[in-house]
Chains A and B, each alone.
Chain A
Amino acid sequence: DIQMTQSPPSLSASVGDRVTITCRASQSISSYLNWYQQRPGKAPKLLIYAASTLQSGVPSRFSGSGSGTDFTLTISSLQPEDFATYCCQQTYNTPRTFGQGTKVEIK
C-alpha cells in the first residue's frame, strides 16, 4: 500500500494568514493526488484534484502543487469557514489511501 503522510497534524492560525500543509507519498504517485476538506460531522469535500486543479466552486485562495512524492496545499488568506481538517488522498493505485489529516484551528 502507498502510505500518505501529512504534516503538521494540526496547526493554529488566524484569519488572513497564509497556511501550507504538506503531504508525502511513500512512493512516486505522479500527480495522482487529491485534497479534501472535512468540517466536523460532515462528509469530506473535494477541493483539488490531480495535485493542482481546483474543483469547480472552490475558492481561488486554495491552491495545490507538487508531483512525485511531495505535495502541498496552500490557503493564501485563511477565512473563518476554512477552519476544518484537510486530508490528501492518492489515486495512483488501489487500495486508495488517505493521509491522516491536518486540523486547522483558530489561533
Chain B
Amino acid sequence: QVQLQESGPGLVKPSETLSLTCTVSGGSISTYYWSWIRQPPGKGLEWIGYIYSSGGTNYNPSLKSRVTISLVDTSKNQFSLKMTSVTAADTAVYYCAREAHTGKIGSLAFDIWGQGTLVTVSS
C-alpha cells in the first residue's frame, strides 16, 4: 500500500526559503505525477505544481517564479518542494499527493495524499 509522508521545518522566517520533502513508501515513484498542494488555514486547496517520474515539471503560474519541485533521490523515492521569498500568505498545510491515470481515457486524479504538514511563516 503506497503511503506519502511530508517532512521539513514547521516554521520559516519571512523572506527565507521553505523546503519540504515527500517520501513515497510501499511503491515506486515511476510512471506517476507527484504534486504539492497547499491549504491556508480555513481556506481551499491550491495546486502548487507537479513533477513526473522522468523529471519533467509543471507549475502553477501564480507561484512559478518562486517554486522548484525536484526529484531528491529516486532510489529513496523522494521528491521535494522549495519556495523562495516566503511571506505570511504562504502559511498553510502543505500536502504531497500522487496524481494517477484513473483508467478512463484522459482522466487523472489525486488518489493518494500525505497527511500534510503545517508550515508557518513568522519571524
Contact = CB atoms under 8 A, between A and B. Distances in A.
The interface size bin for chain A is 20 to 34
Q: Chain A at the B interface: mostly helix, strand, loop or mixed? A: loop
B107 A43 contact: no
Given A53-B102, A100-B44, A94 B58 contact: yes
Interface residues of B, number: 26
Given A34-B109, A89-B110, A97 B47 contact: yes
Contacts of A36: 110
A46 B45 contact: no
A101 B110 CA distance: 16
A87 B110 contact: no
Interface of B: 35, 43-47, 58-62, 95, 97, 99, 102, 104, 106-111, 113-116
B110 A34 contact: yes
Given A50-B104, A53-B102, A96-B35, 18 more contacts: A31-B107, A32-B106, A44-B110, A45-B113, A49-B102, A49-B107, A49-B109, A49-B111, A87-B44, A87-B45, A91-B108, A94-B60, A95-B47, A95-B60, A95-B62, A98-B46, A98-B47, A100-B43
